[in-house]
Each structure stands twice: as C-alpha cells, then as structure tokens.
Amino acid sequence: MDIFEAINSRRSIRKYKNTEISKANLEQILNAACMAPSSKNTQPWYFVAVRDESEKSYILGIMQQVAAQMKAPLEEYFKEHPDVAAQTLSFIKGLGAASVYVLVFSQKPYDESSESALTQSIAAAVQNLCLAASGLGLGTCWMRAPINVGFAQTFKDRYAKNKGQMLAMLTLGVPDEAPKAPKRKDDRYKII
C-alpha cells in the first residue's frame, strides 16, 4: 500500500478480530514509529507494546476504572447522541479486544521549556505508528483516556518506571469493522 492510500484509509478502529500480530510486524511498526522527525533529533519517545495476556488483563482492570470515571463526562458531552457515549464506554472497558496495547511515554521527564517540542515529536512518532499499521492492513485507535482521568502514573510505575510521562495509549490489531471516514472540514489550509 502506498503512503497516500495508508493515510486515506486509516481509521480509528474500536473493534478487532482475535488475531495475533506477528512479532516481525510489530517490530516493523515500532521501527517506523521511531523514524519520526523530532525536535533537535532528541527522539524523545518510548513505546511499550503489551501482548502478554496477563498484562493485558491487568490493563483491562485499570480501564474498567477509567470507564467508570469517564461515564458522566462522556454522557454529558454526547447528550444528543447517547449511543456514541455507550459505544465509547464499551470500547474503553474492553479496548475492542485488540491484540496489542501500545503505551507511549517520553524517554525521560521534560520541563515546560521543552514540553511543546517534545510532545510534538512524540505525536509524530505515534502518527508514524498508526500509518505503518494501516500500511500493513492493521488498525489502531489513539487515545488519552487513562491519562485524562489520572492513571498515567499507574501505567508509568508498572511499565516505564525510569522513563518520563505517559502521553498516549493505542490499541493495535486486525480490524473487525470498517468505519467510514468522517467528513473533512473545509477551510483547513490555503496556498499562497
């Protein structure tokens, strides 16, 4: 698949098939993530790809707590679309039965003076990860739910004790859905 097809076909996947991702494909995806550009070539990312079933069960236990804390805010935000709130909560609780959970940390703690540049660098690496997965016919969903409700330190303590802050979490697997692309908004660029 060429890069434009990967970009245009990539969707946030919230339902996965019970299919294992090969170690070779996982390494290819993580290596692609690490090829992202970064501010001052700091390469400030650190990824933990969780495939072990007992560790995934531990994470799902945390995600039950995350969903409980997000229930009221999601129901308020989607009050006009309660089905979307319910689907989102269901995904948070079970992570769509994804084969792999990818936890994203900074390589080391960083201060406010470098926060924006390093966060942008890590976001570029996460985007590379999503596109590489798409290019292999796999799906991802990029989220911050556990961070938003205060579980970042719990993940850091277990999976990246000597690293920096947790910035994101992704699910990764073989898609068991084919969502349509949301309508793109107008007036998002100009050429001079």
Angle at alpha carbon of residue 98, lines to 93 and 104, rounded to 5°: 85
Q: Using one digit for the tens of pLDDT, what is the confidence trace for 51-81?
A: 999 999 999 999 999 999 999 999 999 999 9
Q: Using one digit for the tens of pLDDT, what is the confidence trace for 111-170?
A: 777 788 899 999 999 999 999 999 999 999 999 999 999 999 999 999 999 999 999 999
* pTM (predicted TM-score): 0.93
In order of start, what are the domains of the chain with their CATH numbers? 3-173 (3.40.109.10)
Per-state percent for the chain, helix, strand, coil, to nearest 5? 50, 15, 35
Cα–Cα distance, 56 to 151 (Å, whole number): 15
